[in-house]
Amino acid sequence: MSTTHETHHPRREGQAAQTAGANDALDIYATSAADTADTEGARVFNAAGGDWDQLSDEATALHEERIVVNMGPQHPSTHGVLRLILELDGESVTEARAGIGYLHTGIEKNMEFRTWTQGVTFCTRMDYVAPLFNEAVYCLAVEKLLGVTDQIPERASVIRVLMMELNRVSSHLVALATGGMEMGATTVMTVGFRERERVLSIFEMISGLRMNHAFIRPGGVAQDLPPGAIDKVRDAVPAIRKGLGELELLLNENPILKGRTVDVGYLDLTGCMALGITGPILRSTGLPHDLRKSDPYCGYETYDFEVVTRDSCDAYGRLRIRIDEMYESLKIVEQCVDRLQANPGPVMIQDKKIAWPAQLAIGGDGMGNSLDHIREIMGTSMESLIHHFKLVTEGFRVPPGQAYAAVESPKGELGCHAVSDGGTRPFRVHFRDPSFNNLQATAAMCEGGQVADVIVAVASIDPVMGGVDR
């Protein structure tokens, strides 16, 4: 993996100067002495390949007490798909670089060859720990292009908020569980995944799947809540809240954990602003930036919740923020349940030229259109049958234009820039995934610290490589 980095080692720069004349004779793009006279003394930045063999050869040639190692895999999300190249001076990290691209799936390109509705099936697989946010931001962008944002049924928006907040809880639980496992606290992992199972069972009941749901569709959601879903959510919330209490007892004032996380992975507000960092990392600097408050969507301005911040700028602060955010999410979930009981309305837009057939049923063969709906359109209306066929096979047309939508995912600002040329397929869809931006903070958080601190810093970033590589 070729990486770009800044080189400013005095000895390395001296070697480069000695060979500059010989290289200039061979390089047709080399500048003359007259061209460089006015830039003498300026700082030089070299873009060079930084793979394992070159780095190790370079370290050997310099005859310094400097070791270059591949670290990991530690974090489950980085197993084989994130490469951390560390330059060490004893136990201290002098340089840290992240190599990405090993999980590239071509999701954005594939979406250009599918209908607008089929695109949901692709984008849900990006950040696979928080799939419902990927679906929601994509659908919000498509609806903005269609100009139907205000026509989305109230019940559909409430279901979207319910699913997203439950997904925020499950994502944060994975972050805490895997982070605890990396530091040797296996009990934290078992408790975290136990509570996550409660959320995934709700997802399975509502959408038929535990992850990669393709449940949120342009115009609404795939289907209404099945019988018993609201009761299941009501029963699960107190149980999850009790499990979070257990995690707090294990973590919050644990002296071993605080020793590993306090003042580790430090990144202040200036660093966050420079690198475009959002989410819990940004809020750990004391800035209460949350798109649910600052740029509301799906009716978030009507819900009662707080934006959690701390001012420690370290891994411990991010851990505490994630715990507190889960409590706030459970508050929103309870408000959603009350609204769903009071509002029995439709879950898909009324415009039949856009509305994907939402009369779905979960049967022995998985999920598909209900047999009653198929019998009705086949037996009563030839026009309905033709329209159903064209909508499913060809898709709806979206007016030419471009739109950007953003949501507050568990990791930060997740944005979708959708471009239409007037056809039934996207001309271009690009996602701003927070894991991609946040992972850039690896060097700033790790350099100057210990090797063991790298593990904690990366865990506090909570990267999911499916979102980074897309």
Residue 136 CA to residue 220 CA, distance in Å, equals 10
Backbone angles phi, psi at 356, to 5 degrees: -65, 140
Residue 387 CA to residue 120 CA, distance in Å, equals 21
Ranking 42-46, 130-134, 347-351, 355-359 by mean pLDDT, the lowest is 42-46
Q: What amino acid occupies position 454? A: V
- Residue 79, number of CB atoms within 10 A of its CB: 11
Q: Do you find a cis peptide bond into 399, omega within 30 degrees of 0?
A: no
Nearest Cα neighbor of 398 from 419, 424, 417 is 424
Residue 470 CA to residue 127 CA, distance in Å, equals 8
When pLDDT is averaged across residues 207-224 and rounded to a whole number, the result is: 87
Residue 101 zone, left/alpha/beta (φ > 0; ψ -120 to 50; rest): left
- Give yes or no for a contact between 125 and 105, defined as CB atoms under 8 angstroms apart: yes
When pLDDT is averaged across residues 413-419 and rounded to a whole number, the result is: 92
Task: Output 168 or 364, whichever has higher pLDDT.
Answer: 168
Question: Cβ-count burial of 287 within 10 angstroms (0-12 exposed, 13-18 middle, 19+ buried)?
Answer: middle
Question: Cβ-count burial of 433 within 10 angstroms (0-12 exposed, 13-18 middle, 19+ buried)?
Answer: buried
Q: Which two tokens stand for residue 262?
A: 């306090």
pLDDT digits (tens, 9 = 90+) for 380-400: 777 777 777 778 788 888 899
Q: Given a cut of 80, is residue 450 above it in pLDDT?
A: yes
pLDDT digits (tens, 9 = 90+) for 127-160: 888 999 999 999 999 999 988 888 889 999 999 9
Q: Which two tokens stand for residue 355?
A: 């509305």
Q: Given a cut of 70, is residue 49 above it in pLDDT?
A: no
Residue 298 zone, left/alpha/beta (φ > 0; ψ -120 to 50; rest): left
pLDDT (0 to 100) of residue 103: 82
When pLDDT is averaged across residues 102-110 and rounded to a whole number, the result is: 87
Rg over alpha carbons for the chain, rounded to the nearest Å, is 25
Q: 430 falls in which pLDDT band (50, 70, 90)?
A: very high
Its pTM stands at 0.81
pLDDT (0 to 100) of residue 417: 94
How many Cα neighbours within 13 Å face the side chain of 183? 26
Q: Which two tokens stand for residue 151?
A: 């026509």
Residue 135 zone, left/alpha/beta (φ > 0; ψ -120 to 50; rest): alpha
Task: Output 446 or 63, whichever has higher pLDDT.
Answer: 446
Backbone angles phi, psi at 316, to 5 degrees: -65, -40
- Out of 3.30.565.10, 3.90.1140.10, 1.10.645.10, 3.30.950.10, the CATH code matching 107-354+396-469 is 1.10.645.10
